[in-house]
Amino acid sequence: MGPQDSSRDSSRESSQRRRVQMHAILICVTLALVAGRIATVINPQGTAAFLSANDRSRWVSVAALVENGTFAIDDLIAVKSSTGHRLWDTIDKVRHVGNDGMLHYYSSKPTLLTTLIAGVYALFYSVTGLAMTAHPIYVPRALLMLINVPTLALFLITMMRSIERLEVSDFAKRFCVTAACFGTMLTSFALSLNNHLFAAAATSLTLYLYLKASDCHAEYGSRHQWNRSRSKPSSRTRSSKTARHKSSSRSRGQTGFGTWLLAGVAAAMTVACELPALSMFCLWAVLFAWLTPRSIPGFVVGAAIVTAGIFGTNYWAHQSWKTPYAHRGYGDVITGYDWQEDLTQSDFARAESLRDVLKAKPPFADATNILLRPLTSGGYAAIAEFEAKGTEANGAEANGEIIRQQPFKVQHYPNAKSPASWKLVEWDDWYEYPGSYWRTGKRRGVDLGEPDRGTYLFHATLGHYGLFSLTPIWLLVPTGLAFQCVRGRSEHRRLAASVLLATLVCLAFYVARPEIDRNYGGVSVCFRWMLWFAPLWLFAIAPEVNQLSTRAVGRWFAIALLAGSVFSVATSLDSPWQSPWLYRFASFLGWLG
């Protein structure tokens, strides 16, 4: 190595050191900004640090699990604040039979993340003695400080280290780190308890581990090839070769079983927070295996640990291997019977007539009472109640306490030849309960769902909830991915192709959903279901920004895109649970029907 090479390397290291120092400042500023907002976060009623039904659904489940030892939230959602509103109630809940045989309400959110957060709260509660139910403002704020701020730091630090590993210009690296700090909606979602921040942090960690492993693999491969090209090395060369072998061994040690285990945990944790991320999880498994087969055992073990947590906590909470989202229909047909419904009778008279019919059926034969009510989806809910029988320990008769409830649905055969043909089916629609937001016609706005898939795709990409319109830096993603698919190292080409495939698959999945689910993620500041892609898309745009940085007009164009993205983030720093500024502006102009 000559003096010029040494000087060039020294200059490069000095530039990198200054750049990393600036990255550290940006990350600290972002974390301080989020921590300051968390310290003052409060709901419109001024009674709690819960900003929406979405985060309230998680908070109430965490509080019930730690303070009451159960996932059932019946007691808490009935509590009213001093202003008269139900402080803990949420539309994101389901109802089903619990361990005690009685119907209870539960959060509809996935249980693994809730259980992990409950673990943090349990530790906080045991140390401070402060209960969330007694202090619904300051305890949630403290927990957000302990949970969200470190999670955001994990996302930003791993993202910065991933970008530093890319072979792009100084401008491109500074641009991407700044975009990670201020240009994605994750900064806004860090103010509230939600799954999107955790999914993005897990994705960022997986990305970093893959890039790090690919660098170590490439370094070891180049050294191995160089060593093989030397036929008869001198003693000095042998000494140098030994040093290089030790260095490459250290590189391999950095990507040992622990690295693959952590990669499997991180990739699976993304799925635990965002189920459609299963597509990218499968691709991660292929990418790591393609990189080196040695990664397979560790990756599989890490993923298995998280998978066990997903299903184990779900069964613990709901006594079912299926998530609440999967309980939206009805089970097997139990029996059929004839019952001529007289539409001229009152609801009460019809219910009494149906009750008489049901009393003769086996599921209701031993029931002491049958609760009936008409369903908005058609038919009747029939809940069989069973009382305690026998005597008390002192010989006195039991008080007739209800000890078990079993729900069924009574429904007319849609294609029956006779109007008197009905069927009794097992209950499996956990979203059908009295006052359900999702079944009683209370839905409004975007929650109604977009009937036209073409319109939905437009607004999810370029419209009022658009990925590109609200976060313009993502306009560089398509060309960035296309560029990386055909240029650069093979490991990066495979990763870019995987990101492109997963993006298209997930977007198509959301567009193909039924009308009720085509709601852009509900009332939130963006199309939040795709937020976990942020680390992968930042990786994608780095080469495109690198190309733009070669000309002044290109740099200013990239800066303008970043400014537009930061503007959208700034409009949402009071709460992520509000309509995007474009949606609100379009509503003001009367463009929304």
334 in Cβ contact with 363 (< 8 Å): yes
Average of per-residue pLDDT values in the chain = 87
3-state secondary structure of 383: strand
* Residue 374 structure tokens: 């008409």
Neighbour count for residue 295 (Cβ, 10 Å)? 26
Q: Give tens-digit pLDDT for 465-485.
A: 999 999 999 999 999 999 899
Q: Within a 13 Å sphere around the CA of 228, how many CA atoms are in the beta-carbon half?
A: 6
Which of 95-99, 146-150, 241-245 bottoms out in mean pLDDT, i.e. has the lowest?
Answer: 241-245
79 in Cβ contact with 88 (< 8 Å): yes
Mean predicted confidence (pLDDT) in 64-82: 92
Q: Is the pLDDT of residue 582 over 90?
A: yes
Mean predicted confidence (pLDDT) in 101-118: 95
201 in Cβ contact with 152 (< 8 Å): yes
* Residue 454 structure tokens: 């073409």
Torsions phi, psi for 39 (to 5 deg): -65, -15
Q: Cα 32 to the chain's mean position, in Å?
A: 24
Structural domain includes residue 9? no
Mean predicted confidence (pLDDT) in 556-560: 97
At residue 415, the pLDDT reads 61
Structural domain includes residue 8? no
Q: Is the pLDDT of residue 419 over 60?
A: no
Structural domain includes residue 219? no
Q: Is the pLDDT of residue 354 over 50?
A: yes
Q: Is the pLDDT of residue 239 over 50?
A: no
Distance CA 363, CA 327 (A): 21
Mean predicted confidence (pLDDT) in 63-92: 90
Select from 119, 126, 127 the least CA-distant residue to 147.
Answer: 119
Torsions phi, psi for 153 (to 5 deg): -60, -40
Q: Give tens-digit pLDDT for 149-168.
A: 999 999 999 999 999 999 99
Neighbour count for residue 193 (Cβ, 10 Å)? 27
Cβ neighbors of 287 (< 8 A, separation 6 or more) are 210, 491, 494, 495, 498
Structural domain includes residue 128? no
3-state secondary structure of 340: coil
Mean predicted confidence (pLDDT) in 541-566: 96
Give 4's pLDDT tier (boundaries 50, 70, 90). Answer: low
Q: Is the pLDDT of residue 395 over 90?
A: no
Distance CA 537, CA 499 (A): 8
Q: Give tens-digit pLDDT for 494-508.
A: 999 999 999 999 999
Q: Is the pLDDT of residue 400 over 70?
A: no
At residue 247, the pLDDT reads 42
Neighbour count for residue 328 (Cβ, 10 Å)? 15
Q: Is the pLDDT of residue 423 over 60?
A: yes
Beta bridge partners of 384: 370, 406
Q: Give tens-digit pLDDT for 289-334.
A: 999 999 999 999 999 999 999 999 999 999 999 999 899 888 888 8
At residue 235, the pLDDT reads 46
Q: Is the pLDDT of residue 74 over 50?
A: yes
At residue 420, the pLDDT reads 57
Distance CA 521, CA 576 (A): 12
At residue 73, the pLDDT reads 95
Strand order in the sheet with 369-374: 328-338, 421-429, 402-412, 380-387, 369-374
Mean predicted confidence (pLDDT) in 215-243: 53
446 in Cβ contact with 100 (< 8 Å): no
Looking at the structure of the chain, the number of domains it has is: 1
At residue 329, the pLDDT reads 82
Neighbour count for residue 542 (Cβ, 10 Å)? 24
Q: Is the pLDDT of residue 21 over 80?
A: yes
Distance CA 193, CA 140 (A): 9
At residue 442, the pLDDT reads 74
What ranges make up the beta strands (E) of 4-122? 93-97, 103-107
Torsions phi, psi for 406 (to 5 deg): -135, 115
Helix (H) or strand (E) run with residue 161 in it: helix 138-164
Give 416's pLDDT tier (boundaries 50, 70, 90). Answer: low
> According to the per-residue pLDDT averaged within each range, which of 45-49, 226-230, 347-351, 579-583 is highest?
579-583
183 in Cβ contact with 29 (< 8 Å): no
541 in Cβ contact with 156 (< 8 Å): no
Q: Is the pLDDT of residue 45 over 50?
A: yes
Neighbour count for residue 515 (Cβ, 10 Å)? 13
Q: Cα 328 to the chain's mean position, in Å?
A: 20
Q: Is the pLDDT of residue 244 over 90?
A: no
Angstrom CA distances, 308 to 261, 284, 303, 390, stand at 15, 19, 9, 41
At residue 241, the pLDDT reads 44
Q: Give tens-digit pLDDT for 182-227.
A: 999 999 999 999 999 999 999 999 999 999 999 887 766 555 554 5
Angstrom CA distances, 138 to 5, 148, 190, stand at 57, 15, 17
Structural domain includes residue 392? yes
Q: Give tens-digit pLDDT for 178-193.
A: 999 999 999 999 999 9
At residue 444, the pLDDT reads 78
At residue 418, the pLDDT reads 56
Query: 196-228 vs 235-254: helix axis angle to the nearest 10?
Result: 160
Say which DSSP state 113 is in: H
Select from 502, 510, 525 the least CA-distant residue to 572.
Answer: 525
At residue 401, the pLDDT reads 83
Mean predicted confidence (pLDDT) in 6-25: 82
Structural domain includes residue 448? no
Q: Is the pLDDT of residue 393 over 90?
A: no
Number of residues in the chain? 593
Residue 381: domain span: 328-429
Give percent of the chain with pLDDT exceeding 90.
64
DSSP per position, 294-356: THHHHHHHHHHHHHHHHHHHHHHHHSSSS-GGG-EEEEEEEEEEE----TTS-HHHHHHHHHH
Give the torsion sign (CA, 458, 462, 467, 473). positive
Structural domain includes residue 581? no
Q: Is the pLDDT of residue 71 over 90?
A: yes
At residue 270, the pLDDT reads 97
Mean predicted confidence (pLDDT) in 70-91: 88
Mean predicted confidence (pLDDT) in 62-90: 90
Structural domain includes residue 352? yes
pTM for the model stands at 0.89
At residue 564, the pLDDT reads 97
Q: 439 or 23, which is more confident?
A: 23
Q: Is the pLDDT of residue 260 over 80?
A: yes
Which of 47-56, 88-97, 374-383 bottoms out in mean pLDDT, i.e. has the lowest?
Answer: 374-383
At residue 9, the pLDDT reads 64
Distance CA 289, CA 260 (A): 10
